[in-house]
Structures are given as C-alpha cells and as structure tokens.
Amino acid sequence: MLTAVIESSAYLLLVSVSHQQIPRKRTFLMCSPEHFEVTYAINPWMDPAVSVDRTSAVHQWGRLRETLVGLGHTVHLLTPEAGLPDMVYAANGAFVVDGTVYGARFKHEQRTAEAQAHQAFYETHGWRYVAAAETNEGEGDFAYLPEAHGGLILAGYGFRTEPVAHAEAQEVLGRPVVSLRLVDPRFYHLDTALTVLDDRTISYFPGAFSHAAQRVLVQLFPDAVIADEVDAFAFGLNLVSDGRNVVLNSAATGLAAKLEAAGYTPVPVELTELRKGGGSVKCCVAELRH
C-alpha cells in the first residue's frame, strides 16, 4: 500500500510538472508611435474627433517595450515613417514562421506603404521574405501554435484578410491553416479576439466568431481560456505571452484573474492612447520566429 501511495504521488508530481507554464525567450519587432495620430477611421474604434496625446502614446509604448525587455526578450525596432501613423501596430506588417516571412498586403490604402517598410527591414536583416499576392494583414489575422496538432496556424477572415490568403500562407509557410470567420466588426482582426498563451494553448472570445468557427475552436482547443465580452472589449485578448508571463492591457482585470488561475503570470500595462487606433499590446508587437 505504501508503495502504491508513493507511486501515485510521483505520478501526480509528474503531471503537475508537465503542465507548468514555462517561459521561452522571444524575439520581437516594434515601431515607435512618434508619428501616431487618428486622422481617419478604418475600424470601429477609430474616431478622428477624439484627440490623441502623442507624448503619452510614446511613453506608454516605451513602458511596453521596457516590460518585454525586462522579461528577457529581444526587441528590434522598425524605423517609423511620417505619414504612416499606424506603423506602431507592427504586428500587421508580416507573419513569420521558422525564418520565413509572409509579407502583408494591406486592405486599406492608408496603410499600404507599411508593407514596403517591413519588407525592407526583413530583407536587410537576411530573412527569407515572400511578398503576398493576396490581401492579408500579417499577425493581425494569423496565429501560430508550434506544438498544437503537430504545428498549426489559425487564420482569421471577414474584415481584413481574404480567405484566399490562408491558402497562400499555407503554401509559403508549409504549415496547415485553419480558417476562422470573424463576424463582429469590433473584432476586425483575429488578434483582437484570440491569442496564443503557449505553444499549444489559446484564449478567445466566442462571440467574435461564426457559430461554425466556434465549433472548430471547441474541438481543437477544449482546454482554452474563455474570455468574456467585457475583457474582449477592453482589448484583453490583444496580448503577448512567452508561455508563462502574459503582458496584457491593464483594463482587462477579469481575464488577468482567469489567466492567473490557469497558472500564468499576468503583467498589466496601460495603453490608453494606442487603443484609440483600435489596438493594444499584440498589435504593437510582431514575433520574429527563427
């Protein structure tokens, strides 16, 4: 009996260790908001009548960058360009998997020149860059889970990225792509409604997706952390995780509590000014996956 108890305890310890959230050092790309402003509206969150405090935006963005560096991550910087106020949302410029860069092709003309700036960065730094033929907005609508189902890309469509870009991304990156239809214009990018917490776990807000997409997500990720409407509207899901430390908008207190209960460490940051452009933490951070 004593042997059985010891073996049982050892098994429980093994299970506990195997489910620990382990941080992994990441490499990111960010772009300072020194030219950030809201002079047009291409998503429901943008209102040119609402003033932007650019000094505060730069300060808040700087605190986000310092937070990521403080967690041990490497942050490269993309040079901001005048006349491109949305360049701060660096995640939208490309999608990188295993050293291959699938470039963005923006839907709205106000942002089209950003793609060239991202291409120049990647080519200058020796990455394999593939220009897109189809409309897509980079990590805004693509998420990668290297250990889920053998390596999987989740891809959103409905407002920015076209479904045909999912097939193109699959050919370029050599990873299976699961298409998910977004149905609420307030969640115009996948990264406003779904996030990757570690290499096989996600969190998402079901109401942002079609009923069919919800069924797919339940089948693929039965253990996902489900966010509610309040935290989704606070851009809580627009976060960056290293597998344990989760950097998220300070307004998403309910989601932070859920993540902590699931074994993650929430790291809140304030991004009130950049939210005026329709983005938060993840929008500002592209991951460079070597």
Q: Let me know if 189 is a catalytic residue.
A: yes
Classified as helix, coil or strand, 4 is: helix
Which residue among the candidates 73, 166, 189, 284 is catalytic per the annotation? Answer: 189
Q: Let me know if 73 is a catalytic residue.
A: no
Strand order in the sheet with 27-31: 74-78, 27-31, 286-287
How far CA 26 is from CA of 115, 121, 146, 192, 198, in Å, comes to: 23, 18, 14, 21, 12
Tell me the β-bridge partners of 204. Answer: 194, 226
Q: What gap in Å lies between CA 128 and CA 111, rounded to an integer?
A: 23
Q: What gap in Å lies between CA 41 and CA 54, rounded to an integer?
A: 17
Give Cα 128 distance to the centre of its chain.
21
Tell me the β-bridge partners of 240. Answer: 247
Q: What gap in Å lies between CA 127 and CA 121, rounded to an integer?
A: 9
Which residue among the candidates 31, 73, 283, 284 is catalytic per the annotation? Answer: 283
Enzyme catalytic residues: 189, 283
